[in-house]
């Protein structure tokens, strides 16, 4: 059954699917909660904020169908975490290697800004995925909001300290053996951040280089 825990998000997704972007006017929008995607044996979990209104909300696959997704997948491909550098639609041959993608919120929010209750409502999906992804050694949070959500989620389970550190790009939080995955942070590859140069292709590739080093 389609999740209805966040009426504001469900209503917004439905409106977007009716008032389509002109370039996608002949497409059927997914307009439902977007599940995670990737290698079920992954050692790397990449967590974003929420589906793009005309990206994953349209295609039905996380980080697929917009410039943000291509920016991320290109960086992952360069470091061996994806078999191709682009992510266009849910039926393309993209395959993730040792990596899994998801968002802290499964439905596209207005202005890309879910509220605290909506993030909390989606925690059960993150928890279910972490229960299945038993080999995860490194978590990459894309952006401050994803970092906050993941940190608080783990702190409530006494896996990491309750006091959250300041977010900054490229931070590394090392966990003791068998006490949970390491955490790496990055600016989100949103179109605004990439257009302004807040995050560049080299910066994001270097984050994945760091992750490869942690795995070794």
**Residue 134's domain is classified under what CATH number?**
3.40.470.10
Q: Is 173 among the domain residues?
A: yes
Q: How far apart are CA 162 and CA 121, in angstroms?
A: 20
Q: Is 66 among the domain residues?
A: yes
Q: Is 139 among the domain residues?
A: yes
Q: What are the tens digits of pLDDT across the range 120-169?
A: 999 999 899 989 999 999 999 999 999 999 999 889 888 888 888 999 99
For residue 203, the enclosing domain spans: 7-215
The structure's pTM equals: 0.95
Q: Is 1 among the domain residues?
A: no
Q: Is 183 among the domain residues?
A: yes
Q: Is 2 among the domain residues?
A: no
Q: How many domains does the chain divide into?
A: 1
Q: What are the tens digits of pLDDT across the range 61-102?
A: 999 999 999 999 999 999 999 999 999 999 999 999 999 999
């Amino acid at each position: 059954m389609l999740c209805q825990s966040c009426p504001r998000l469900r209503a917004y997704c439905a409106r977007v699917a009716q008032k389509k972007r002109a370039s996608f006017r002949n497409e059927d929008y997914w307009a439902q909660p977007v599940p995670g995607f990737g290698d079920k044996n992954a050692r790397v979990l990449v967590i974003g904020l929420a589906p793009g209104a005309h990206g994953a909300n349209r295609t039905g696959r996380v980080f697929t169908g917009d410039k943000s997704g291509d920016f991320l997948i290109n960086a992952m491909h360069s470091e061996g975490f994806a078999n191709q550098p682009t992510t266009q639609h849910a039926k393309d041959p993209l395959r993730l290697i040792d990596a899994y993608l998801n968002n802290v919120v499964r439905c596209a929010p207005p202005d890309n800004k879910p509220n605290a209750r909506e993030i909390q409502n989606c925690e059960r999906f993150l928890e279910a995925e972490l229960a299945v992804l038993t080999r995860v050694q490194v978590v990459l949070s894309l952006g401050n909001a994803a970092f906050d959500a993941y940190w608080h989620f783990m702190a409530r389970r006494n896996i990491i300290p309750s006091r959250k550190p300041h977010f900054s790009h490229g931070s590394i939080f090392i966990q003791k053996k068998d006490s949970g995955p390491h955490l790496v942070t990055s600016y989100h590859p949103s179109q605004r951040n990439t257009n302004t140069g807040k995050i560049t292709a080299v910066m994001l590739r270097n984050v994945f280089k760091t992750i490869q080093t942690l795995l070794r």
